[in-house]
Amino acid sequence: MENREREKPKSSRLKIVIIILAVLLVLSAGGLAARYLYLKFLSPAQATVTVPDNQIGEEPEPSSEETPGASQGPESPSAPDNGGAGTADDPDGNENGSPEADKPSASVLELYAGRPDANRRFEVNNMLPGDTETRYFCVKASHDADIILYFRADVTEETKSLGDVLQIKVTRLDTGKVLCDAPIHEVTGKGFSELLTASAQGETAAYYQIDVSLDTSVGNEYQAAMLQADFHWYVEDESGLAPPQTGDITNLTLWIVLAASSLLLILLVPTMKRKKEGGPHGQA
């Protein structure tokens, strides 16, 4: 009789513990799902960062194997100043603004476990022969192993077959490596890749410059033409990607709570079942 009376409080406490763990399990799983949906669909899509001086202030190393990259490499250091100013607040490229205003801004694209790809919409219209549109991108990849980063341009809309004569050149700023340099129609739908080596920081921030230009030899028949394209940055093999480095421990905490709650429930639920099954026999 005493043993039965002693086991009742224990059984009640066990039920309370299981209920609390179940609630924690649901909350942590819901929190992770909500965080994933936020990062996937609702986080700011147009975050930008100023391109660091060490990315644009030095001549590219003359070790590039590609001939176009070697011959056009000297233009890379000067292009950011003109192109960045032309697309920001100083369309004339004047140098009398503030130092920060003269530096180009790069769109930030984050790749991590659960989000292996990102893209930005690009559009040009009414370009004249000799015009160039320049964009900068900072691809931040969270990874704990070597990964292969891909770039792909997909034309979504155009007039007058502008992609036949519109040249696209993608350059890695810190190394001067040219991923592609050809008319957009020749590269659309094709993936151009490079290896990102894992580091102790667990993250790689790779800066790229994309120049879209119309050669001076092109006639004025393309003057009123337009082209829209999606610039995709992605990783095909997600195994090397790691959770995002957000600067907080929210994600890690939720995973710990989820794992601990699941483990304890797996251990306690069978115990609860055994007590229930053993109850009638004990009373008999």
State the alpha helices, DSSP H only, in 38-163. Answer: 53-56, 67-72, 75-87, 99-102
Mean pLDDT of 28-53: 72
Task: Give the pLDDT confidence score for residue 42 in this predicted structure.
Answer: 56
Question: Does the pLDDT of residue 92 top 80, yes or no?
Answer: no
The structure tokens listed for 159 are 């007039």
Task: Give the pLDDT confidence score for residue 17 in this predicted structure.
Answer: 83
The structure tokens listed for 209 are 């410059």
How far is it, in rounded angstroms, from Cα 263 to Cα 268? 9
Q: Of all helices (H) and strands (E), which one includes residue 136?
A: strand 132-142
Q: Which residue is associated with the tokens 């340099």?
A: 181
Q: Which residue is associated with the tokens 């069978």?
A: 270
126 half-sphere exposure, CB direction, 13 A CA radius: 0
What pLDDT, in 10s, does the model give residues 156-184?
Answer: 999 999 999 999 999 999 999 999 999 99
How far is it, in rounded angstroms, from Cα 112 to Cα 236? 12
Task: Give the pLDDT confidence score for residue 124 in this predicted structure.
Answer: 95
Task: Give the pLDDT confidence score for residue 169 in this predicted structure.
Answer: 97
What pLDDT, in 10s, does the model give residues 144-157?
Answer: 999 999 999 999 99
Length of the chain: 284
What pLDDT, in 10s, does the model give residues 204-231?
Answer: 999 999 999 999 999 888 989 999 999 9
SS3 126: coil
179-208 core/surface letters (b: 16 or more CB in 10 A; e: else): bbbeebbebbeebeeeebebeeeebbbbbb
User: What's the pTM value of the predicted model, to 2 decimals?
Assistant: 0.62
Cα four-point dihedral sign 58, 118, 82, 217? positive
Q: What is the mean pLDDT of the chain?
A: 78
What pLDDT, in 10s, does the model give residues 70-90?
Answer: 333 333 333 334 333 344 344
According to DSSP, residue 226 is labeled E
Q: What is the CA radius of gyration of the chain?
A: 28
Closest residue by Cα to residue 106 from 147, 134, 132: 134
Cα four-point dihedral sign 29, 34, 36, 37? positive
User: How large a percentage of the chain has pLDDT more than 90?
Assistant: 45
Neighbours of 55 (CB within 10 A): 24
> What is the separation, in whole angstroms, between the first and last Cα of the chain?
12
Strand order in the sheet with 226-235: 117-125, 226-235, 147-158, 192-196
